[in-house]
Amino acid sequence: MNSPDADSARVIIKKRRALPFFSGHPWVFAGAVHRVEGEPAAGAEVTVHAHDGKFIARGLINPQSNIRVRLYSWDESQRLDNEFWSRRIQTAITHRHSLFGDAPEKRCCRLIFSEADGLSGVVVDRYNDHLLLQWTSRALAEREPFFVEQLHQQLQPAGIWRRTEKGMAEAEGLTLTDGLVTGAEPPRPLFVEEHGLQYGVDVVAGQKTGFYFDQRDNRMAAARYLRGRILDLFCYSGGFGLTALRHGAATQVLGVDSSQPALDFAQRNAELNSLADRMRFEQWAAYAKLESLEKAGEQFDGVILDPPKMARTRGGLERALRGYFRLNQLAVRVLKPGGILVTCSCSGLVSRGDFEQVLARVASETGRTIQILESRGQAADHPVSVQCLENAYLKCLICRVDSRR
């Protein structure tokens, strides 16, 4: 009983199901598990083995989750102890620091991005002196006190706030609630800087984690092409429009969102950056707004489409593709010949190929030429592990839409 694994339960994978885990995929779904030897408590460390008993990896088990085991180490001698987690956290933070150097974005970015940083189940965003912590794994969340101590040691934040994504209670049995974990409450709003623009952010009540850092580089890339009169649909706090006015040749922006609190932020951000005289915001459902603009014969030089996630389950994929089709079709109809369409999809289940096919159908249905100028993804502080490509969720296509062929 002196083996270091004497206390670890073993999870045996079904025959012919072990290949993805040998290759480094971190999610062992319940359906791949043949049997569990021992009685591991929820959140306990386990070793995972192929059907013939061969060691594959070490992970944390959650009997309540469909992702039964999340894998973290493929080295048999590497226990998932505090030193291990500490190193993973430090590596993720060091990566962001080297990515941004001394730019202000260093202090306003995603510091830890779950599987991409070998930390499946936790996301940490930095808003200057405040951190936002999000758990998507109950097993990892049980180690919160240690993670918090490490984040304090490595970054000395003024405070750490916790938010939990909708659905996590059911998916993971995660019972943590939103609220202050340590230190001071985040100011409401707090301010972040991106591309020389200031944004007010409410990390407590704002959507998702308060600000969409993942679109940072796409806002700037889009600005390079946008000129004239721009329609920024699903504008949230105004990022695409503000960047196009400050860094591009846009002259006027109409921002549309269905959420009034989001538009209030967008309006204040326009004022904060002295761009309010060239921006107007309206509360509308995007589809209805596009229909009414088309009816009125309005034409724009550029349209931005950045809708929320449309496909949450595989079963919802077809419906989502129809939604993207309808939205892009309507957008193209209010674009001048030679206009720029910046169209995004943050549904991980919709592949880049699927999304391009949607645009191909829009082109043939509307009789317009659509050229992809840039095919972009998520910003580099949201890296993608090649072993967990499910996390490559963001597509941002910058297109030129010409007149009828």
Catalytic residues: 346
Q: In the numeric block, which tokens belong to residue 228?
A: 């004239």
Whether the upstream peptide bond of residue 26 has omega within 30° of 0, thus cis, is: no
Q: How many C-beta neighbours within 10 Å does residue 307 have? A: 18
What is the maximum span of the chain, computed from C-alpha positions, in angstroms?
79
Identify the burial level of 157 via C-beta atoms within 10 angstroms of its C-beta, where 0-12 means exposed, 13-18 middle and 19 or more buried. buried
Q: Which CB, 18 or 342, lies closer to ligand SAH?
A: 342
Nearest approach in angstroms of CB 357 to ligand SAH is 23
Residues 125 and 213 sit within 8 Å (Cβ to Cβ): yes
Q: Which CB, 236 or 300, lies closer to ligand SAH?
A: 236
Nearest approach in angstroms of CB 191 to ligand SAH is 15
3-state DSSP percent of the chain in helix, strand and coil, to 5: 35, 30, 35
Residues 71 and 11 sit within 8 Å (Cβ to Cβ): no
Identify the burial level of 205 via C-beta atoms within 10 angstroms of its C-beta, where 0-12 means exposed, 13-18 middle and 19 or more buried. exposed
Q: Which of 224, 385, 237 is nearest to 306 (CA)?
A: 237
Between CA 103 and CA 246 the distance in angstroms is: 18
Q: How many C-beta neighbours within 10 Å does residue 23 have? A: 11
Nearest approach in angstroms of CB 286 to ligand SAH is 4
Between CA 61 and CA 80 the distance in angstroms is: 12
Q: Which CB, 308 or 338, lies closer to ligand SAH?
A: 308
Residue with tokens 């959140």: 43
Q: How many C-beta neighbours within 10 Å does residue 37 have? A: 13
Q: How many C-beta neighbours within 10 Å does residue 75 have? A: 10
Q: Which CB, 236 or 393, lies closer to ligand SAH?
A: 236
CA distances (Å), origin 181, targets 161, 211, 222, 321:
5, 20, 37, 39
Nearest approach in angstroms of CB 238 to ligand SAH is 7
Helix (H, G, I), strand (E, B) or coil at 274: coil
Nearest approach in angstroms of CB 134 to ligand SAH is 17
Q: Which CB, 187 or 206, lies closer to ligand SAH?
A: 206
Q: Which CB, 223 or 235, lies closer to ligand SAH?
A: 235
Nearest approach in angstroms of CB 159 to ligand SAH is 23
Residues 55 and 3 sit within 8 Å (Cβ to Cβ): no
- Residue 133 forms beta bridges with which residues? 124, 162
Nearest approach in angstroms of CB 36 to ligand SAH is 40
Between CA 350 and CA 311 the distance in angstroms is: 7
- Positions in the binding site for ligand SAH (CB under 6 A): 207, 212, 215, 234-237, 239-240, 257-259, 262, 285-286, 306-308
Nearest approach in angstroms of CB 262 to ligand SAH is 4
Q: Which CB, 261 or 338, lies closer to ligand SAH?
A: 261
Q: Which CB, 239 or 248, lies closer to ligand SAH?
A: 239
